[in-house]
A and B are shown apart, each in its own frame.
Chain A
Amino acid sequence: MGNGAVSLSQISKRFPGGTQALRDLSFSVAPGEFAALLGPSGCGKSTALRIAAGLLAPDAGTVTRDTNDIGFVFQDPTLMPWADALTNARLPLDLKHVARGEANDRTAAALKRVGLGGFEHAYPRELSGGMKMRVSLARALAAQPKLLLLDEPFAALDEITRNALGDDLLRLWREDGLTVLFVTHSVSESSFLASRVLVMSPRPGSITADLALPPGRDSRLAPATIDAQRRISAALNTALAA
């Protein structure tokens, strides 16, 4: 089954328009790690994530994943508007032909874990942006993935909701021992959530810094978190100046 490790080696990708999105991109994420892929908009980090998930084929290079149990959370909630929260979050289990009763139980539990107990039969249009994102997260968790890939999942939310969801994600990661690869353009978000930050530079996208963050970042304003922010900012500035 594997433990959720993923590794990209010498990945290059050119888009049909001719833009070189990624060139010789290499990084690996160890089992149980919470890695943030940080970079400015348009640096190819989402492309890298889709390649890591196997949704996009690279032009060159190899992707090694020791598991196919992947959860994926998009920037938008990406829910089926015609289905209630339970049916939406149950989709991975339905596609894998899990028996309906068991699938309902597991999905209801996943919804409860993201704080949506009691909203099983709410339709997406009845939910707030943050709640929709929670359904999306519950859907990713319902299939009990080893590797969770997130593509700027909280970028469209307000700061209060974003922080609450970040706290939940951190808790879920600790409880489940998942491997997380989290694409973001937020220095503060990565400094608090991630155990490791991979800084990407644009055109063509490649990794320019690989920072392991020390423990002790208990809150967003803890000295260790602020210190991590300084290090990440410095690395990002170097990447952009190059």
Chain B
Amino acid sequence: MRRAFDIALPLLLAAALLGLWEWTVAAKQIPPYVLPAPSAIARAFAENFGSLMEALLSTLTVTLEAFVAATVLGVATATLFAQSRTMERMLYPYAVILQVTPVVAIAPLILIWVGFDHINLALVIIATIVAFFPILAGTTLGLKSADFNLIDLTRLYGASRLQTLWRIRLPGALPYLLSGMKTAGGLALIGAVVAEFVAGSGTATGLAWRIVESGNRLEIATLFAALALLAFTGVLIFAALSLLEWALLRRWHESAIRQS
């Protein structure tokens, strides 16, 4: 009952706001190149359905590839840090530099280096850079938060570092990794969009490019349709990762148990 209410409430608000929007556009006679009515956006969405889906697929592919790459690289780097303090001291500042430097500023350089004939690779690299840090930071914290007594216990039984990593540190870091992945999923999408913006005309075929193109042609309804699709994709990624988190943690972790 409460759950149905939780879902119905935001939907009701959306319906009310869309109704208000539709009415305002009609009543105030706002020109469609400034603010199209929701019905016009829906029409634009239906008319451009095929090309919008193609654009979505392109952006989604870049996003997912970057997300997987960021997860693998983030976990691998965090594991390296956990095994060697020297490595961590040496490399962590550079990970921070990579994080705090605005990706829009690095993107043109990456495009030039990778080359416009490998445009998708360049997009994936840019999006990976954006998504990488939360995975690294989360997993590093998780690997360090292992129960010291459990670590001592493995030493007592003559465990190798690999055994301790695999049996104690990595499972213990899982909640932190999943939390990082939830942030990284959204960031990968943002990174893909930013990369497409920077890559610009003729080369990129994703949703961001559709937004730029529609804006240039003053097809604002199509722009809104692409924007809505982008937002929906972001929500879907977050929901999927939340579901993954719940499935993996529901038996043991406080964060998943309190929800039920």
- Selecting from B83-91, B156-164, B222-230, B237-245, the interface stretch reads B156-164
Looking at chain B's contact residues, the main secondary structure is helix
Is B217 interfacial (CB-CB < 8 Å)? no
Which residues of the partner chain A approach B254 to less than 8 Å between Cβ atoms?
125
Interface size on B, residues (CB 8 A): 22
In this assembly, does A80 line the interface, its C-beta being within 8 Å of a C-beta of chain B?
yes
Tell me if A95 counts as interface (CB < 8 A to partner B).
yes
Which residue from B147, B157, B257 sits with its C-beta under 8 Å from A96?
Answer: B157
The reply to whether the CB of B61 lies closer than 8 angstroms to some CB of chain A is: no
Stretch touching chain B among A71-79, A189-197, A232-240: A71-79
Shortest A152–chain B CB gap in Å is 13
Partner of B150, one of A55, A68, A78, A125: A78
B153 on the interface (CB 8 Å rule)? Answer: yes
Q: A81-B253, A123-B252, A124-B252 are in contact. Are A72 and B153 (CB under 8 A)?
A: yes
In this assembly, does B171 line the interface, its C-beta being within 8 Å of a C-beta of chain A?
A: yes
Q: Is B174 an interface position by the 8 A CB rule? A: yes
Q: How far is the CB of B177 from chain A (nearest CB, A)?
A: 13
**B179 contacts the other chain (CB 8 A):** no
Known: A95-B159, A96-B158. A82 touches B252 (CB 8 A): yes
* B43 on the A face (CB < 8 A): no
Q: Is B251 an interface residue (CB 8 A)?
A: yes
Asked if B152 contacts A55 (CB within 8 A), the reply is yes
Q: Decide: A82 and B171 in contact? CB cutoff 8 A.
A: yes
Whether, in the assembled complex, A37 has its beta carbon less than 8 Å from a beta carbon of chain B, the answer is no
Whole-angstrom CA separation of A117 from B157 in the bound complex:
25
Q: Residue B155 at the A interface, CB < 8 A? A: yes
In the complex, what distance in Å separates the CA atom of A123 from the CA atom of B171?
15
Determine whether B233 belongs to the interface, using a CB cutoff of 8 Å to chain A: no
Distance, CA A78 to CA B251, complexed state (A): 18
Q: Does A210 contact B (CB under 8 A)?
A: no
**Chain B residue at minimal CB-CB distance from A69:** B157
A39–B154 Cα gap in the complex (Å)? 28
Q: Mark A77-104, 1 if CB is under 8 A from B, else 0.
A: 0101111000000011011100000000
Is the beta-carbon distance between B156 and A78 smaller than 8 angstroms?
Answer: no
Size bin of chain A's contact surface: 20 to 34
B167 and A94 form a contact (CB under 8 A):
yes
Query: Which chain B residues lie closer than 8 Å to A78 at the CB level?
Result: 147, 149-150, 153
Q: Which of A46-88 contact B (CB under 8 A)?
A: 50, 53-55, 68, 70, 72, 74, 76, 78, 80-83
Q: In the complex the two chains form, what is the Cα distance from A14 to B237 in whole Å?
A: 53
Known: A78-B147, A82-B174. A95 touches B252 (CB 8 A): no
Give the distance to chain B from A78, nearest Cβ to Cβ, in Å.
4
Point out the residues of chain B lying under 8 angstroms from A81, CB to CB. 252-253
User: Quick check: A76 and B257 within 8 Å, CB to CB?
Assistant: no
Residues on the B chain within 8 Å of A143, using CB: 157
Complex interface: chain A residues within 8 A of B257 (CB): 125
Residues in A neighbouring B147, C-beta threshold 8 A:
78
Does B168 sit within 8 A of A, measured CB to CB?
Answer: yes
Q: Which of B153, B155, B159, B167 has the most CB of A within 10 A?
A: B153
Q: How far is the CB of A237 from chain B (nearest CB, A)?
A: 32
B171-A70 in contact (CB<8A): no
Residues of A within 8 A of B157 (CB): 91-92, 95-96, 143
Contact of A55 with B252 in the complex, beta carbons under 8 Å:
no
**In the complex, which residues of chain A have a beta carbon less than 8 angstroms from the beta carbon of B163?**
95
Q: How far is the CB of A205 from chain B (nearest CB, A)?
A: 20
Give 7 A-B pairs besides A78-B149, A96-B157, A124-B252 with Cβ atoms closer than 8 angstroms: A55-B156, A68-B158, A74-B153, A76-B149, A82-B251, A95-B158, A123-B252
The 19 sampled A-B contact pairs (Cβ below 8 Å) are A55-B152, A55-B155, A68-B158, A76-B149, A78-B149, A78-B153, A80-B167, A80-B168, A80-B171, A82-B172, A82-B252, A82-B253, A91-B153, A91-B157, A92-B153, A95-B163, A124-B252, A125-B257, A143-B157
Residues of B within 8 A of A (CB): 147, 149-150, 152-159, 163, 167-168, 171-172, 174, 251-254, 257
Sorted nearest first, the 3 A-B pairs with minimum C-beta distance are: A78-B149, A95-B157, A95-B159
Q: Which A residues fall within an 8 A CB radius of B?
A: 50, 53-55, 68, 70, 72, 74, 76, 78, 80-83, 91-92, 94-96, 123-125, 143
